Amino acid sequence: MYDSGKVVTGIIVFVGVVTFPLWYSFAAGDPSRRPELQKPQGQCVESTDYMRAFHMDLLNQWRDDAVREGKRVYASPDGRKHWISLSYDGQVHNNAVASKSCMDCHSSKEKFCDECHDYVGVTPYCWDCHIEPKGDR
Amino acid sequence: MSTNRRDFLKVAGCSLLGAGALAPVAPRIAAASGGHGETAKREGKRWALIVDTKKCLEKGGCQACADACHKVHNVPHIPDAKREIKWLWKEPYKHAFPTQVHAFTEDGLKDKPVLVLCNHCENPPCVKVCPTKATFKRDDGVITMDMHRCIGCRYCMAACPYGSRSFNWKDPKPLVAQKDPTFPTRTKGVVEKCNFCAERLAQGRAPACVEASQNTGCNALMFGDLNDASSGLAQTLKGRHNIRRKPFLGTEPHVFYLI
**Interchain proximity A129–B187, CB inside 8 Å:** yes
Size of interface A-B (CB pairs under 8 A): 50
Closest CA to A105 of A52, A41, A55: A41
CATH code at B224?
3.30.70.20
Could you tell me if residue B146 is inside a domain?
Answer: no
- Confirm whether B7 is domain-assigned: no
Closest among B214, B232, B222, B219 to B254, alpha carbons compared: B222
Contact indicator for B164, B84 with CB cutoff of 8 Å: no
Which pLDDT tens digit goes with each residue over B182-238?
899 999 999 999 999 999 998 889 999 999 999 999 999 999 999 999 999 999 999
Domain with B104 in it: 46-123+175-185+193-258
Looking at residue B180, its pLDDT comes to 87
| Cβ neighbours of residue B116 closer than 8 Å, sequence gap 6 or more | B88, B89, B90, B91, B96, B162, B164, B245
Closest C-alpha among B248, B258, B256, B182 to residue B224: B256
pLDDT tens, position by position, A36-80: 888 888 889 999 999 999 999 999 999 999 999 988 889 999 888
Residues of chain A with C-beta less than 8 angstroms from the C-beta of B181: 87-89, 131, 133, 135
Asked if the Cβ–Cβ distance from A131 to B146 is below 8 Å, we say no
Residue B3 falls within a domain, yes or no? no
**Does residue B254 belong to any structural domain of this protein?**
yes
B1 pLDDT tier (thresholds 50, 70, 90):
low
Predicted ipTM > 0.90: no
* pTM, rounded to two decimals: 0.80
Q: Would you say residue B16 lies in a domain?
A: no
Instruction: Give domain status of residue B119, yes or no.
Output: yes
Asked if B184's CB is within 8 angstroms of A87's CB, the reply is: yes
Residue B89 in domain: yes
Total tally of structural domains belonging to chain B: 1
B141 in a structural domain? no
Whole-Å CA distances, A66 to A60, B3, B33, B186: 10, 59, 28, 17
Residue B98 has pLDDT above 80, yes or no: yes
Question: How far is it, in rounded angstroms, from Cα B255 to Cα A135?
Answer: 35
